[in-house]
Amino acid sequence: MSTLLIQGGTIIDGSGNERFTGDLLVENGIIKLVSKKKITSHANRKINADGLLVTPGWVDIHTHYDGQITWDKYVTPSSWHGVSTVVMGNCGVGFAPVKKNNENFLIKLMEGVEDIPETVLAEGVDFNWETFPEYINHLNSLSRTLDFGVLVPHIPVRFFAMGVKGADFNSQPTNDEISLMKQIVSESLASGALGFSTSRTKKHTTKDGNYVSSLNAGKDELLGIFSAMKNYTNSLVEVNSDFADSDFEFIANIALKYNLPLSVLLLQVHNAPQRWNETLSKIKKFKAKGLSVNGQVGSRPIGMLMSFDGSINPFINSPTFKLINEMPSKERKENLLLNDVKLKIIADTPKDDHLDWINSLLPRCFKFEDNFNYEPKEIQNILSISRQLNKPPLEVAYDWMLEKNCERMIYHAFENYNEYNLDVVRTLLADEDTICGLGDGGAHVGYLCDSSSVTSMLKYLKSDLSDQNLSIEYLIKKQTKETAHFFGLNDRGVLLQGMKADVNLIDFDNLDVTYPSIANDLPAGGKRVIQKSKGYFKTFVSGVEVYNEFGFTENFPGRLIKGNQKS
């Protein structure tokens, strides 16, 4: 029998209750005892946790590791950040079911919606499955640093059932096609999917620029699918929608009819900065009617990162930049640093759609300082700095990106930042009808790394005053017990006897995110933005140490989660 005793730590157990000093005993991957008193046991291993926080592992229910999980046994960035469970298959996109020779449709969809390059996915994902149960079988054979569950995504189901017509957002299925979708979703839940996901947002387009095909999925289609889900306990529905007009009511009424738990993305979009408030009111209205429903919220702006090395910067269409970008690293940097090269790049950057788009982002573009706290002030934006320095904004951008040996990043606060502060984010987090979940781990790899927000939230959003509601205990509950239990994972998320021993030991004074960087570690040499952490002394999954202050331990206890889990 393997036993582990964690002694004298400051236990924050994930329930929201106040911290206490105590011991935690683990036997064979399960928590045997949590006690304020000293536990005396002949454990195989004892760890002195004096001065450390002892918490549950984080449960990140909004990721897109559907492809990456098949080639990356570490599942970074999440595993650098104390995450012990991820849920993928969100937002209606994923890689199963898929008919032979149709894989490229799903790859292009994932590239369009989640910005994971086609070359990366084509080389990285094997596709030795067609049906969802076959995909589950494949996932079930994998050992990873953390546990992973998957939702069955709407768009692949639609495409499987309807053929090419299913890729068109204007087409509606026939009755036979709806029957087929019901059957597919039903067999997916039976095989272990945690629920169903769909997208109804105009932000999601395919590589070819079309809206995703689930955008306008009608009542008959959703009634059919949701009716097939009602007999399962793993029947959660995740929806990403703009929630314009009455879309929330449309979805919520169907979920209510079949008593399916509903989790929707909830954030502040800058072109409708009050809509989050309206959607939150609707969530409360439907909760009062008996629907189990919540909003998935972020803990910082959705942060787009620009740099010379990343996939987005103002100069990517400049002929001079393109030429220099092909050079070997050292030569490239030497060239970028030359003043005449800078002037040439700025001058020959074409006045095209890309530049128009970049210009539209400038009011919320900030220098990503070394001690960046994710809440910059308006006077720090690039336009203000440009006025102060009497330099055009593009030149300021160029000069910023030259810093740190050409690796300085520019941060664009894409959403959740209309008023130049995080007050809306704080309000959303403090609300009882929200859970954490906008990290998008594994997605938007060329310019985004918000999956690290599980760490930055605890560092930057905690309120130090006891009369404020964002205590560390509360914030931890928001990404452990609340995320896990809403997704039917009742065997984790709290440190209680009988629960899975997914545990973080945290040196809280040193907890932080590190400066983001670009790594060339995806299949086919693909690039991604990564952001690591510090302060995670140890992370355990099922009682096995997977990560510590020196890095990964090369233990891979993480497994597929099939369906709901009992406590």
Give the binding site for Zn ion (CB under 5 A): 90-91
Pick between residue 153 and residue 393 the one whose CB is nearest to Zn ion.
153
C-beta closer to Zn ion: residue 199 or 235: 199
Q: 85 or 90, CB closer to Zn ion?
A: 90
Provide the pairing of β-strand 30-35 with 528-530: unpaired
Taking the complex as a whole, the smallest distance from the CB of residue 93 to Zn ion amounts, in Å, to 8
With tokens 């400038």, the residue in question is 362
DSSP state of 237: E
Beta bridge partners of 303: 413
Q: How far is CA 241 from CA 63, 205, 263, 268, 403, in A?
A: 16, 13, 11, 12, 38
Q: Which is nearer to Zn ion, 296 or 456 (CB)?
A: 296
447 Rama sector, left if φ>0, alpha if ψ -120 to 50, beta otherwise: alpha
Question: Judged by CB, which is closer to Zn ion: 91, or 121?
Answer: 91
Query: Which CB, 58 or 547, lies closer to Zn ion?
Result: 58
Q: Which residue type, as a one-letter code, is found at position 545?
A: E
- Name the minimum Å distance from CB 198 to Zn ion: 11
Shortest distance in whole angstroms from residue 62 CB to Zn ion: 6
Q: Which CB atom, from 302 or from 385, has the smaller least distance to Zn ion?
A: 302
CA distances from 199 to 240, 296, 480, 501 (A): 5, 14, 25, 34
Indicate the residue among 91 and 167 with the shorter CB distance to Zn ion. Answer: 91
The CB-of-87 to Zn ion minimum distance in angstroms stands at 11
Tokens encoding 468: 């404020």
Whose CB is nearest to Zn ion?
A: 91
How far apart (Å, rounded) are the C-alpha atoms in residues 232 and 564?
Answer: 10
Closest contact distance (angstroms) between CB of 519 and Zn ion is: 21
The burial of 64, by beta-carbon neighbours within 10 Å (0-12 exposed, 13-18 middle, 19 or more buried), is given as buried
212 burial level (CB within 10 Å; 0-12, 13-18, 19+): buried
Rounded CA separation 276/162 (Å): 34
Q: How far is the CB of 395 from Zn ion (least distance, A)?
A: 35
CB of 244 to Zn ion, least distance (A): 18
Q: 35 - beta bridge partners? A: 23
Helix (H, G, I), strand (E, B) or coil at 134: helix
Instruction: Write down the least CB distance from residue 200 to Zn ion, Å.
Output: 12
Nearest to 286 by CA among 244, 252, 245, 250: 252
Please say which residue, 55 or 279, places its beta carbon nearer to Zn ion: 279
Q: 46 pairs with which residues across the strands?
A: 5
In the chain, what is the straight-line distance between the N-terminal and C-terminal CA atoms, in Å? 22
Q: How far is the CB of 86 from Zn ion (least distance, A)?
A: 12
Alpha carbon distance 41, 6 (integer Å): 11
